[in-house]
A and B are shown apart, each in its own frame.
Chain A
Amino acid sequence: MNTMTETARRTSAPPNAAASEIAIHCNLEKVFYGDFLAVRDSNVAIEKGSITGFIGPSGCGKSTVLRSLNRMNDLVMGFRFEGHVRFNGQDIYAKNVDPVVVRRYIGMVFQQPNPFSISIFDNVAFGLRLNRFRGDLDGKVETALRRAAVWDEVKDKLKNNGLSLSGGQQQRLCIARAIATDPSVLLMDEPCSALDPVATRRVEELMLGLKKNYTIALVTHNMHQAIRVADKTAFFGVDISRGGRTGYLVEMGETEQIFRDPKEELTRQYVSGEFS
């Protein structure tokens, strides 16, 4: 049932390229959890080889939109939406598409570090073994741990349980696990919110390093993180005009432009800290 083809995933378009390749084109007209309209009118394009940040106040639907990109919302009861999400041109919600396969191409890192209760090595090798990787497992694991900037800290204790690490190390382990299979796109849902500032800084540096090889979409509640790390930024707002809290895309553009010279008034208010 696999209609996905493995295209060249690591073409990093030079920043000033006229037409950057779009990895995921997401057009969510309406997103419902049961009867609750969670998100409306959000049209987001994730460019290859760049970091796209989703910012906005709480309840604005940025996590919902992110999770729609790899069909993680399928696990939530009552989820349905109108619109389409295209990955490399293919509709990932088409009838004959297997969500399991989609998630092997589009990886995810969560807010809470969540390594499995197995050894550090087995955590990173998990995805590789799941995909029946036949090759140098040790090499792949080491590469992933190096790219996640945690190799030096764990290289002597690869057999230790993943949960024995500190919070920041666990999160970097989860990043290593997610990138070990070289996914086309990496979705990160507030990956630093459970970490202290030092660990946060390390993960941000790691994200900038990952940009060479991976496309990243990042949800963050921290505007400064978006400024530091994101190439493009999408600002989501909350619409309370119809009774409930419905999120929607207010504005999207180059990070510099969003923060220096926002086009929408709401954006200007948010980035200047008038509300959060």
Chain B
Amino acid sequence: MSDQTLFANDSGAVELPRLKRSFLEPRALRNTLLTLGTWVAAIIASIPLFSVLYMLIVRGGSRLKLEVLTEFPPAGFELGGGFGNAIVGTLVMVAIAALISIPIGILAAVYLAEIDPKSRLANAARFLAKTLTGMPSILTGVFAYATVVLLTGNYSAYAGGIALAVLILPTVVLTAEEAIKMVPQIMKDAAYGMGCTRTQVIWKVVLPTGLPGILTGVMLAVARATGESAPLLFTALFSNYYLSGLNEPTASLSILIYNFSSMPFENQIELAWAASLVLVMIVLVFNIISRLFGQPRA
């Protein structure tokens, strides 16, 4: 701004300021460069995501036909085949995980947020949950192996489901707690003022109002569980057939991808790509559902 004065010069006359923008002056240059920089960073960050999606669609899409979704995994030199049983296995085990972790997680969150937020139990539980969200997923597999598999004597969908439940439970607890804390105090005051007991305030006002947030957290946790492989390695193992009961080794998409992608057969590798695409689509569906329910109603 050295050429422009806003103040009177010696003779008392005020020079009119030059208002035109200059791209060469240092502040404007810095501004432009940094803006460009953030742009470039965003693009670079998106490249892995888009390239993965691109590869999945191109290499998996070509193999994606109806029979792939229903047939059994092919053996070594076989052609054709599919992974219908893996899809069912994944969905079943994720359902078990959800059935276990959602009720426990929400009720624990109610305790942490409403019942006694400052108690020693609450503080300990919160700390543990925060620590365990970062737990290596293989450890939940080890835990489920040591408890369920050794106890029942066989690999099973139960064990896989429980491993997944243990994996996502901390996340469900923490996101549900946040969602419940977001319910405004004045709304709870209104419920108390109407003569609700604390239980009624929770069931009739807090949980219904916090439901969108809770569901978002739950869906994201479930989406994560769908894609995990380590917890299933020595709990559900694998199977080449549809499961006829929950107490037997079960196929899953993640394990199938893991197995097939290391085989030296073109057929299996193609199927691994197709399975990856299907897995991503399932995760996408869960994310869309979570967004749909995550809209607060107002």
Q: Which residues of A contact B (CB under 8 A)?
A: 70, 72, 75, 100-104, 107-108, 110, 112, 114-118, 126-127, 130-131, 161, 163-164, 174, 177-178, 181
Task: Report the number of A-B residue pairs with Cβ-Cβ less than 8 Å.
Answer: 64
Q: Within the complex, which residue of B189, B193, B197, B296 is in contact with A117, where a contact is CB–CB below 8 Å?
A: B296
Write the chain B residue with the least CB distance to A98.
B197
Nearest 7 pairs between A and B by C-beta? A104-B195, A108-B193, A103-B195, A163-B298, A114-B186, A114-B190, A117-B209
B194→A117 contact, CB < 8 A: no
B297 close to chain A: CB less than 8 A: yes
B190→A116 contact, CB < 8 A: yes
Chain B nearest CB from A253 CB (Å) reads 29
Chain A nearest CB from B294 CB (Å) reads 14
B191 close to chain A: CB less than 8 A: yes
Q: Within the complex, which residue of A75, A116, A118, A130 is in contact with B195, where a contact is CB–CB below 8 Å?
A: A130
Write the chain A residue with the least CB distance to B212.
A117
Q: Which of B189, B197, B209 has the most CB of A within 10 A?
A: B189
Task: Beyond A100-B196, A114-B190, list 12 extra A-B contacts (CB 8 Å).
Answer: A72-B189, A72-B193, A101-B195, A103-B194, A104-B195, A107-B194, A110-B193, A112-B186, A117-B187, A161-B298, A177-B190, A177-B194
Please report the C-alpha to C-alpha distance between residue A126 and residue B191 in the assembled complex, in whole angstroms.
Answer: 9
A117-B297, A118-B208 given as contacts; is B192 within 8 A of A103 (CB)?
Answer: yes
A110→B194 contact, CB < 8 A: no
Please report the C-alpha to C-alpha distance between residue A108 and residue B191 in the assembled complex, in whole angstroms.
Answer: 10
B195→A127 contact, CB < 8 A: yes
Write the chain B residue with the least CB distance to A118.
B208
Q: Which residues of A contact B298 (CB under 8 A)?
A: 117, 161, 163-164
Q: Which residues of A contact B191 (CB under 8 A)?
A: 116
**Secondary structure call for the B interface:** helix
B196→A72 contact, CB < 8 A: no
B190→A110 contact, CB < 8 A: yes
Q: Which residues of B contact A163 (CB under 8 A)?
A: 298
A116→B209 contact, CB < 8 A: yes
Q: Which residues of B contact A (CB under 8 A)?
A: 184, 186-187, 189-197, 200, 204-205, 208-209, 296-298
Q: Which residues of A contact B186 (CB under 8 A)?
A: 110, 112, 114
Please report the C-alpha to C-alpha distance between residue A131 and residue B196 in the assembled complex, in whole angstroms.
Answer: 10
Please report the C-alpha to C-alpha distance between residue A130 and residue B23 in the assembled complex, in whole angstroms.
Answer: 67
Please report the C-alpha to C-alpha distance between residue A174 and residue B194 in the assembled complex, in whole angstroms.
Answer: 11
B193→A126 contact, CB < 8 A: no
Q: Within the complex, which residue of B194, B197, B205, B209 is in contact with A127, where a contact is CB–CB below 8 Å?
A: B194
Chain B nearest CB from A68 CB (Å) reads 13
Chain A nearest CB from B214 CB (Å) reads 13
Please report the C-alpha to C-alpha distance between residue A107 and residue B204 in the assembled complex, in whole angstroms.
Answer: 18
A104-B195, A117-B297, A164-B298 given as contacts; is B205 within 8 A of A130 (CB)?
Answer: no
Please report the C-alpha to C-alpha distance between residue A234 and residue B184 in the assembled complex, in whole angstroms.
Answer: 31
Chain A nearest CB from B172 CB (Å) reads 22
Chain B nearest CB from A124 CB (Å) reads 11
Q: Which residues of A contact B208 (CB under 8 A)?
A: 116-118
B209→A107 contact, CB < 8 A: no
B193→A70 contact, CB < 8 A: yes
22 contacts between A and B (CB under 8 A): A72-B189, A100-B195, A100-B196, A101-B195, A103-B194, A107-B194, A110-B189, A110-B190, A112-B186, A114-B187, A114-B189, A116-B187, A116-B205, A117-B208, A117-B296, A117-B297, A118-B208, A126-B204, A127-B195, A130-B194, A161-B298, A177-B194
Chain B nearest CB from A143 CB (Å) reads 17
